Structure 1
Amino acid sequence: MSTDYQQAREALGLSLRELRLTAPGGRLTGAQLVERLGGGWTKSKVSKLENGRQTATAEELQAWAEATGQPGAVPGLLAQLRGFESHIRSWRRQLASGHRPVQEAITAEHDRTTVLTIWENVLVPGMLQTADYARHVLTRHANLMQSPRDTEDAVRARIRRQEGLYERGRTYRIMMWEGVLRSLVCPPAVLAAQLDRLSAVVGLDTVELGIVPFSASLKIYPGNGFWVYDDRRVVVEDWHAELWLDDADSVAVYLRVWNTLRESAVYGADAQAVINRARRALHPQ
C-alpha cells in the first residue's frame, strides 16, 4: 500500500474521529457510537476506521455522520474517499454489483484512448479474449472474490469493447509473456480456440502483438500485468485491488518497463511461431 494512500486513509480517519468528539450534546465514546450505529458495527471497527487501518464505504461514512448528529459532513467525507479511491479501487467495492459495472468503467477509458499499451504475464488481455475464455476467467474471479454472478452480462460487455480493434485511428500495443499462451485457466479446447484467435489478430492493422518467449534473455522480470491509456493513466491489477495511477512519474515508469520488456519480444511471423508452438503442445502427436 502506497504511503500517499495510507496518509489519505489516516486523514479520513481523523475526520471521523473529529466528528465523534464534536457530536452535538457532547463527545461520544466508541461504545456510544457503536450503539447509535447499530448492527454490524463494533468498537474494533470504529477504532480501525479512525486509525486508518480500514477504509469505510460511502454508506458507512453516511451512517457515521448521521450517528454523530452531523449529516452535513457527508459531502466532505465522500470527497476524501473519492480522492484516494480513485487511485486504489478494491475489488470488494468494485464487484459489489458484479463484474459488468467494472467492464463498463474500463470501456469508458478505452473509448477516450488512442494508444493502448498492454503487458500481460498470465492472462490473454480482455481486448483479445474469446467469449468462452472470458467466461472461464470471470467465473473464477467471481468465485475467488465471492461477488455477485453476472458472468454473461460481463462477457458481453467485454466482447463489445473489442469493436475498437477495427476502428481506424486506434493503436493497440499488446505484449504478453509466453506463459499466457500455456496457462490452463480454462479447458484445453477453450485455450486452443483462444490461441487461434490470437493468430488471427497478428495481421490486424490496429494491433502490434508481441510475445516474450520463455527462451528470451530478459532485462527485467515479467511482473504484474498493466494497461497504459495514452500517456495519462496506468491501470495495474493485483489480488486485492486495481491501481489507477494518473501522475506523470508513474506513467513514465510503466512505459519504461514496457519498453524494456519489448526488447525481449518477438513480433509478426516469429510471434506466430510461438503461438503455434503453444497450440501444438495442447494436442501433441
Structure 2
Amino acid sequence: MRDPSSRAQNPRNLAASRCRPQRRVDDACRRTWRCMMATRAASHHTLYQVSTATALVQGIYQGAVRVGTLREHGDLGLGTFENLDGEMVIVDGQFFQARSDGSVRECNDDVLSPFAVITRFAPDAAVTLTQDPDLSHLSSGFDRLRHSDNIFFALRVDGHFDYVHARAMCRTKEGVPLVEAAAVQPEFEFRDVEGTLVGFWTPEYAKALNVPGYHLHFVSADRTRGGHLLQCRGAGLRLQIQREGDYHIALPETEDFLKADLRRDPAADLAKAEGEKK
C-alpha cells in the first residue's frame, strides 16, 4: 500500500507547495504596483510653455503659437499676445485678452502668442481664507500648500475681491525691451468685483525660463475686466493648487528667437517689468 505521506514528500510536490504562496505574494505586488502607477498617472501634471522669459525680456514678441494650438495643452494659464498686445488669461478652457484699458475680450483660435504657459488643472489641494487677505496673505496661503521649492505649481483663486490693482501691456514694436514697454503700461483698479486669479509659482532656479515666484492674472466673473495682478484684497477667497510633475518648453522657430543672444540673466528686468511702477 502506498504511503499517504509520499505525495507530500515528493520533491516536485514540495516545490509546488512552496511556489504557490510565492505566486500569491508576486500577484499582490503586481496589483499594488498597478494601483500605484494608476494613481501616479492620475495625479501627474504637465506644464506646457512656449518660449522663455529671457526672450520676452529682450523684446522677442513675434507670435510663435496660435491660441488654437495652446488649447490642446490645457485649460488654465496665462501669457501675452503678439507685440505685447495685452495680457492672456486662460480660465476653464476659455482664452481671454485683457487689453490696455482694462477691458477683456475672448480670443479666437487664430490669435498669436509669443509667450504662454498652460496646464490641465485638477487641483491637489485647496483652502478657503477666512480673513480679508491681500496679495501677501494669498502668497502665504499658497506657501502653506506648496510642499517644495523645486517644482512648478499651478494656482487658482476664486471669490469676491474688494479691490484689484492690475495692469495690461500696450501693443508695442518688436525689439523694444520689456522694461521699456512696461514703463508706459497702463494700470487700473477694480472694486467690489467677483473674479478669478490664475497663474503659476516658478522655482528660483528657473528664472531664465519663467517668472520666478508667484505670477497671477485676473479676470472678472462677468469676463469684462482683467489684467496682470499687482495687488488685491478679498473676502473668503478659495485657493487651489496643483503640482506640476513635468515641464515642457516649446521653443519658437522665428528668426528673431533663433538669432537672439539669450545668455543674459533676466531676473532684474523681470522684477521691474512685473511689479508696480514706482
User: Does TM, scored on the shorter chain, surpass 0.5?
Assistant: no
User: Whose radius of gyration is greater, 1 or 2?
Assistant: 2
More helix by share: 1
Q: Normalization by structure 2: what TM-score?
A: 0.24
Greater relative CO (CA pairs within 8 A, separation 6+): 2
More strand by share: 2
